[in-house]
Amino acid sequence: MRQSSLFGRTLREAPADAQTPGHRLMLRAAIARPLASGLYTWLPLGFRVAQKVEQIIREEMDRIGCQEMEMPVLTPAELWKSTGRWDLLEPITFRTRDHNGREFMVSYTHEEAVHSHAMSEIQSYKQMPLMVYHFQSKGRDEARPRAGLLRVREFVMKDAYSFDIDQAGLERSYKAQHGAYERIFKRMGLDAISVESDTGAMGGDIAHEFQVLTDVGEDRVVVCPKCDYRANMERATRMGDVPIREEGAAPRSEIATPSTTSIEALQTMLSLSADRLLKTLLLRDASGSVVAVVLPGDRDVNEAKLRKLLGTSEVKFANDADFAAAGSVPGYIGPVGLRVRTVIDTSVDERAYVAGANKKDAHLRSVVRGRDFTGEAVDVHDVREGDVCPRCKDGKLRIVRGVEVGNIFAYGTYYSDKMNATFLAEDGTRKPFVGGSYGIGVGRSVQSIVETHHDDRGILWPIAVAPYQVHVIALPSNDETVRAAADALVADLERAGIEVLYDDRDETAGVKFADADLIGIPFRATVSKRTLKEDQVELKPRSASEAEFVPRATATERIAAAVRRALA
Amino acid sequence: MRQSSLFGRTLREAPADAQTPGHRLMLRAAIARPLASGLYTWLPLGFRVAQKVEQIIREEMDRIGCQEMEMPVLTPAELWKSTGRWDLLEPITFRTRDHNGREFMVSYTHEEAVHSHAMSEIQSYKQMPLMVYHFQSKGRDEARPRAGLLRVREFVMKDAYSFDIDQAGLERSYKAQHGAYERIFKRMGLDAISVESDTGAMGGDIAHEFQVLTDVGEDRVVVCPKCDYRANMERATRMGDVPIREEGAAPRSEIATPSTTSIEALQTMLSLSADRLLKTLLLRDASGSVVAVVLPGDRDVNEAKLRKLLGTSEVKFANDADFAAAGSVPGYIGPVGLRVRTVIDTSVDERAYVAGANKKDAHLRSVVRGRDFTGEAVDVHDVREGDVCPRCKDGKLRIVRGVEVGNIFAYGTYYSDKMNATFLAEDGTRKPFVGGSYGIGVGRSVQSIVETHHDDRGILWPIAVAPYQVHVIALPSNDETVRAAADALVADLERAGIEVLYDDRDETAGVKFADADLIGIPFRATVSKRTLKEDQVELKPRSASEAEFVPRATATERIAAAVRRALA
């Protein structure tokens, strides 16, 4: 490809609103361009990277017997209504209506669609296990698109779906996908770790995310440095501390705490550490039910765990009327005598705490769980740095940032039950499909590669996904001898099956080398007046600091060998 | 691929509403399935065909230096508003709105988007000529989806866009695309002819459609059997007849024609052939302007020509108030004394006609153009069978049915003018891009292949686009020796790079052979107890009536050679 007519202009500076190193480099190197907020175009260089990423995914899906197909972007509302997700996904999806008033979703994902097809294509247990996948555009009405391709409003996802006759089959399919994911990310050059995760809107119970650990990530991942425990914050647990049981605590007594409505203010007033105080939150779920959650003052509630516990899509703070109904007032709520469903986090010990007195300007001292209040024991708190690993019961957990590049869900019969999607089982009865879904975001993977493969001059593409393998630079292009030699080298390399970007532009050495570093093709081969004097080509890997000079006669062979070694 | 676990079930009968042979076969052979009206899924077999079609298109686009990229499905309203197409395309497009109220279109096509990118990526004349393309889903809110993939509401289009510095450059790019299209359809096995066409909503003046002639097509194509003239009905012209000039016609006179409001009724009453009557249509364009169109009674108005003449997106019949304002009444309108813009079709001769008298129950006899009425002379009539070719001026035109599988438009500066999309020209001034766009519908191409390649038993795929090259049949699959021999043949063929569908199902010979004929893979290789007795494999091309028997020892070699010959 001749760079002089490449569609895509490198930029000396990234737009001021570019938020991460990868975002800046994607724009500067002409990999992708926004058409509107959160809507991106792959320019030709980026398209080649995306295609290579897709091809790696395709090969690994094919290897585990997953069959490629393609479902449409627009899917009818009735499908989504059959599982209740039409309403559930409303806040995050794009909808449209045809001129007859029928509604469609710009698909968020395709569980409903694939189940609808499975109902007519898979009739008998003999046809399973069966897995299908497609690459298709998804719409997400993100309120705040962020950081280039890390959070967008439309993106291509590879989504795969497994159909099995029972849970054991699902577990085998899930394991096959998990293995494929490990190979896929490795081949792309991504160090993605598998992390236990919450299933959220997907349903079911077993799920993993593949997270690339980087400071630019939005997700918080809990990692044990001593064993293989990895979980996202929504799912992570910790080994419980040895419960503290204070025997013979004093009876509870009221204390005056005027204008002391926060844990911080209470700490200061009483000179107590936060773990001696109780935090009580009064919350309301999507259906309007109210619940009180009790935690130690030094623990934060984990909203995802709570949503799951309550079986709701949304948790909000309660209003004044809810406080009144529960017999309390905002700022002074506590679990003693509260007239509402109360859940007690497992991190609350059986010791004397200070808690709200459920009346203005007052708290209670020496409040003890079991003695002064009761409630269901639940785990709804955030893990924090230094908590003890729940698996090895030894490592101190760390919390790191990650980008989720893939996720897999074993949802079981979540969709087939709701859609009455069944097959003829061996015993002659009809049984629901037992399924899982398996997603990878193509654009997010590409940007994650950039986030984790760059230096201060530009991108360093892993060769398996690089837009081209060799960047040939002619210096200067308007010198006839140089031009002829560079043209010949390009032709030879292409004949040898090497992918070449050829900088034939009328630009200075400074501009060309800076662009080569920015675009980040793994090998740079320069043909200049100086190298031709010695009948040589200058060869420099993007990641090396030094170049070497190779004789022109064997340059193609040498470069092709270097590319093959790098690809191996 | 083992057929026992293939996702996609063949059907003995097509659904009753399947409208064409291709539609029925696509459904029966598990190529595609509707998810909803006009929204189709490629099942795995069909996906392979679509991928091969895409790859042929890709190779030919790459060959002419067209660069692949990818623009999003959702595009912001502002882009479309900048060219006036937001309103123009409203009746046929899907729109959506984000939660902040911003509007987007499920893209109909991408001229505006690509111009928006060109404005920032192409700065100088030095970067052109330049062509880009992508494969992307398009939305069309078709009121009546029809005949499977022939008319749908979402489909993948390859759309390419050329950018040139001037009209001469555009003509070169257009010619390169035209040549690529000829190769593309030929490689797919489609006999697509290039047809002059109208530009419609695309703007510009030069356009061609590639039409596959088949009775199931919706389009009418005018073809000269004696020369290379081909045009669609919207664009076709004919050689004008020698104009009839009646000298000394009688003066016009009124005749009573009570309740005679149609050409047919008038013919009967007066015993005159339709070509002796004048048909006057009073029409209204999208802006509300009214025009009268005058044609001989035996000619039909061509709406596309008229829309183009009036520069409007829509033509409707005038209302009663329009008739009153023009000084006429419905059913008795004629050109004499009409108070409205009047256009006269070129097929109206200077002879005595009978025409409406612009008052109830009356017509005029001996109405002569030039003498009794005047108006702009325009060509707004439909060509019909037997008209004389405008090119060779000899052949009698035929009108045949076609499916439009591709179209190309040289729109020039239609978009760049409206969007102020300019580049720095060699003379230092800023000039608008001169462009064209070039589309191919992937799904429609696939179904057109089926419409033109089948017999009464099923599809006959051209090998270049066949889902697999060889269909291996084991008979019966549950015989261990047969199974082992078939497994070995499949493994050998796949090692030789042949694409194999392997019917390993527990079905009768009748079912397996019927499915093989239905799916239409070019070669069928059967391993049965009978063939094994002779140590043979039965090899049958799908298109042949007779099978041959080849020794097992050389079967792979023989089959691979046959495949290679067919592909060559």
pLDDT > 90 in chain A, percent: 84
Comma-separated ranges of CATH 3.30.930.10 domains in chain B: 33-236+399-450
Q: Could you tell me if A280 and A355 are in contact, meaning their C-beta atoms sit under 8 angstroms apart?
A: yes
Partners of A9 on chain B (C-beta within 8 Å) are 120-121, 123
What is residue B249's predicted lDDT score, i.e. its pLDDT? 85
pLDDT in tens, B199-229: 665 556 789 999 999 999 989 999 999 998 9
Return the closest-CA partner of residue A362 out of A491, A472, A466, A269. A269
For residue B429, what are the contacts with CB-CB under 8 A and spacing of at least 6? Answer: none
Whether the per-residue pLDDT at A272 is higher than 60: the answer is: yes
Question: Measured between CB atoms, does A519 come within 8 Å of chain B?
Answer: no
Which among A13, A104, A142, A426 is the top mutation candidate for probing chain B, defined by the most B β-carbons within 10 Å of its own β-carbon?
Answer: A104
Whether the per-residue pLDDT at A203 is higher than 60: the answer is: no
What is residue A200's predicted lDDT score, i.e. its pLDDT? 62
- Alpha-carbon distance B45 to B466, whole Å? 9
Partners of B95 on chain A (C-beta within 8 Å) are 96
Comma-separated ranges of CATH 3.90.960.10 domains in chain B: 253-378
Q: Thinking of the domain A253-378, which architecture would CATH place it in?
A: Alpha-Beta Complex (3.90)
Dihedral of CA atoms A396, A401, A405, A407 in degrees, nearest 10, equals 40
- Alpha-carbon distance A291 to A322, whole Å? 10
Comma-separated ranges of CATH 3.40.50.800 domains in chain A: 468-567
What is residue A245's predicted lDDT score, i.e. its pLDDT? 80
* Stretch among A153-167, A177-191, A272-286 having the lowest mean pLDDT: A272-286
Helices (H), A111-166: 111-121
- Alpha-carbon distance B500 to B40, whole Å? 25
Dihedral of CA atoms A180, A184, A186, A189 in degrees, nearest 10, equals -170
| CATH superfamily membership of A468-567 | Anticodon-binding domain (3.40.50.800)
What is residue A201's predicted lDDT score, i.e. its pLDDT? 54
Comma-separated ranges of CATH 3.30.930.10 domains in chain A: 14-189+410-450
Return the closest-CA partner of residue A328 out of A299, A380, A292, A366. A292
Report residue A51's pLDDT band, with 50, 70 and 90 as the boundaries: very high
- Alpha-carbon distance B494 to B500, whole Å? 7
What is residue B202's predicted lDDT score, i.e. its pLDDT? 54
What is residue B201's predicted lDDT score, i.e. its pLDDT? 54
* Stretch among A181-185, A448-452, B237-241 having the lowest mean pLDDT: B237-241
- A-facing residues of B in 436-495 (CB < 8 A) are none
What is residue B353's predicted lDDT score, i.e. its pLDDT? 94
* Contact assignment for A69 to B41 by CB distance below 8 Å: yes
Question: Which residue type sits at B280?
Answer: T
In DSSP terms, which residues pair with A138 in a beta bridge? A155
* Contact assignment for A40 to B6 by CB distance below 8 Å: no
* Contact assignment for A94 to B96 by CB distance below 8 Å: yes
Identify which of B41, B74, B76 has the shortest CB distance to residue A117: B41
What is residue B199's predicted lDDT score, i.e. its pLDDT? 65
Q: Is B163 helix (H, G, I), strand (E, B) or coil?
A: strand
* Contact assignment for B41 to A94 by CB distance below 8 Å: no
* Contact assignment for A69 to B123 by CB distance below 8 Å: no
Whether the per-residue pLDDT at A204 is higher than 90: the answer is: no
∠ CA A166-A171-A175, nearest 5°, is 150
Partners of B70 on chain A (C-beta within 8 Å) are 41-42, 47, 50
- Alpha-carbon distance A123 to B135, whole Å? 34
Question: Which residue type sits at B110?
Answer: H
Whether the per-residue pLDDT at A397 is higher than 60: the answer is: yes
Q: Is A264 helix (H, G, I), strand (E, B) or coil?
A: helix
- Alpha-carbon distance A97 to B505, whole Å? 43
* Contact assignment for A121 to B4 by CB distance below 8 Å: no
Identify which of B69, B74, B96 has the shortest CB distance to residue A42: B69
What is chain A's length?
A: 568
Comma-separated ranges of CATH 3.40.50.800 domains in chain B: 458-567
- Alpha-carbon distance A325 to A11, whole Å? 61
The parts of chain B modelled with pLDDT lower than 70 are 199-204
Which among A11, A31, A121, A173 is the top mutation candidate for probing chain B, defined by the most B β-carbons within 10 Å of its own β-carbon?
Answer: A121
What is residue B200's predicted lDDT score, i.e. its pLDDT? 62
* Contact assignment for B9 to A120 by CB distance below 8 Å: yes
Dihedral of CA atoms B467, B473, B479, B484 in degrees, nearest 10, equals -70
What is residue B465's predicted lDDT score, i.e. its pLDDT? 98
Q: Tell me: domain B33-236+399-450, CATH 3.30.70.1400, correct? A: no
Chain position carrying tokens 């005027």: A258
pLDDT in tens, A294-337: 999 999 999 988 988 888 878 999 999 999 999 999 999 999 99
Query: DSSP of A440-485, one letter per residue?
Result: EEHHHHHHHHHHHSEETTEE---GGG-S-SEEEEEESTTSHHHHHH
* Contact assignment for B122 to A7 by CB distance below 8 Å: yes
| CATH superfamily membership of B458-567 | Anticodon-binding domain (3.40.50.800)
Question: Measured between CB atoms, does A188 come within 8 Å of chain B?
Answer: no
Half-sphere exposure of B478 (CA within 13 A, CB side): 5
pLDDT in tens, A406-445: 999 999 999 999 999 999 999 999 999 999 999 999 999 9
Which top CATH class is A14-189+410-450?
A: alpha beta
Q: Give the number of A-B residue pairs with CB atoms closer than 8 Å.
A: 179
- Alpha-carbon distance A417 to B440, whole Å? 41
Minimal-distance CA residue of chain A relative to B2: A65
Helices B44-63 & B167-188 angle (0-180, nearest 10): 140
Identify which of A41, A67, A72 has the shortest CB distance to residue B40: A72
What is residue B198's predicted lDDT score, i.e. its pLDDT? 73
pLDDT in tens, A227-260: 989 988 888 899 887 777 877 888 999 999 998 8
- A-facing residues of B in 62-91 (CB < 8 A) are 65, 67-76, 79, 91
